Amino acid sequence: MLESYFIRPETVDRISSSWLHAAIEKYIAWLESHSYSARCVIRRVPLVVQFGAFARKRGAVDIDELPSHLDAFVRHRHRVRRGHQFRSSAARRQFEYEIRGPIEQFYAVAKAAPPESSFPFIAQVPGFFDYLQDERGLSATTIESYRGQLARFEHYIASRQVELDNLSPTVLDGFIAELRTRISAQSLGVPCTVLRVFLRYLFRQRIIGRNLSAFVEGPRTYTLSDVPRSIGAADVERMLSVVERRSVVGRRDYALLLLLVVYGLRAREVAALTLDDFDWRGNKLHVRCRKAGRADVYPLAPEVGEAVLDYLRRARPTTRERRVFLRVTAPRIAVTHQTVSRQVRVYLGRAGIAVPRPGSHTLRHSCAQRLVDAEFSLKVVGDFLGHKHAASTRIYSKVAIEALREVALGDGEAVL
């Protein structure tokens, strides 16, 4: 198998002599079965071999010990670059991702456990995610959000060699401060909520000696303090015009962008669409995976249907996967909501459209703006967007520009 990818005999000998040889063979077979390119195999396997040699020098004798050496290996790779300074923190994170990603994938394959199956703190707090599902009744989507947020926290305390039973307000403050450098004040509310729930559970299970949840304080925010970050119709057209629709990626992205613009769907809802959600004969679009278990049906707009059909016929990989939108590179699996939001940022940037916190919600807010401008009631707007509570739609009262202008310039009699 190695000879199929590596021409030089000394390279094959070096890989064959690695103490991880059997696991590497298994990893290559897995990459092949998931349609990874030969170039990807050639790039990842030597990295795994180098990591194996590095871990062996540090005393590793079993594959289960590999994760404990990964952080040190990343630092080692940085020193090999002779302390090269990264242009930005994003460039540093990308460098670390390109090292961590293949090694973590290799370890998951070698242990015959897919990456999705691992939960943060599963060894120290095995019952937490069952508690979220069974006692709190959280949905699978919300539990997945908890998993992602706690994975950040797990990595943070591991990098500082802090055990759960040694948590302190200082550690929590440091974690929140680090998050604040990456996300907005409004977005910080979610990880703070997750962390408070986790800390209360730790105290209930007597893993920590006192309830530290009160020390998790996010920045103060105010209801309706912001105007939704929408863009106008002209900017939407300009964004769509920069999509290269002759390419595989462009056909896919044009279809998902239209779904966001026309229906105001969330990124998760677009990523969750399946082939069965499109009723071509009835010209209907079913959106089943909405918040709070809602499901809605929309008339299928002709331009949306044509874009989706163009992608299905000319760009979508042949696979048994029922999700509509798939990755264009291996593994050929469904795109995530992060991918959907990232692609929106990409095209907004290419179109030169500046907007605070660009992402999929930019287009969702633009859809709401269009409905408000057409003088639909906030109740209709909320129903169209899939809001469960009317309070969620109140923010769009601030984008009724013409109505607000009349109030400001008039004598106020109509209001009174």
Task: Select which of 69, 252, 268, 364 is catalytic.
Answer: 364
The 10 Å Cβ neighbour count of residue 372 is: 24
Q: Among 343, 383, 350, which Cα is nearest to 367's?
A: 383
Contacts of the segment 117-121: beta carbons below 8 A, 24+ positions apart? 119/147, 119/150, 120/147, 120/150, 120/151, 120/153, 120/154, 121/150, 121/154, 121/164, 121/198
**C-alpha–C-alpha distance, residues 12 and 16, integer Å:** 6
Q: Is 204 a catalytic residue?
A: no
Q: How far is CA 250 from CA 2, 257, 274, 291, 325, in A?
A: 35, 10, 19, 28, 12
Tell me whether residue 396 is one of the annotated catalytic residues: yes
Distance CA 161, CA 239 (A): 46
Residue type, 54: F
Q: Which two tokens stand for residue 373?
A: 């401008």
291 counts as catalytic: yes
Is 387 designated active site?
yes
Residue 283, sorted as left (phi over 0), alpha (psi -120 to 50) or beta, turns out to be: left
Helix axes 9-16, 21-33, angle to 10 degrees: 110
Active site annotation includes 298? no
Catalytic-role residue among 291, 332, 342, 398: 291
245, 316, 361, 370: the catalytic one is 361
Q: Rounded to an integer, what distance in angstroms lies between the CA atom of residue 121 and that of residue 86?
A: 31
Catalytic residue among 196, 266, 290, 365: 266
* Residue with token string 């990626």: 249
Measured CA to CA, the distance from residue 67 to residue 88 in angstroms comes to: 27
Active site (catalytic) residues? 266, 291, 361, 364, 387, 396
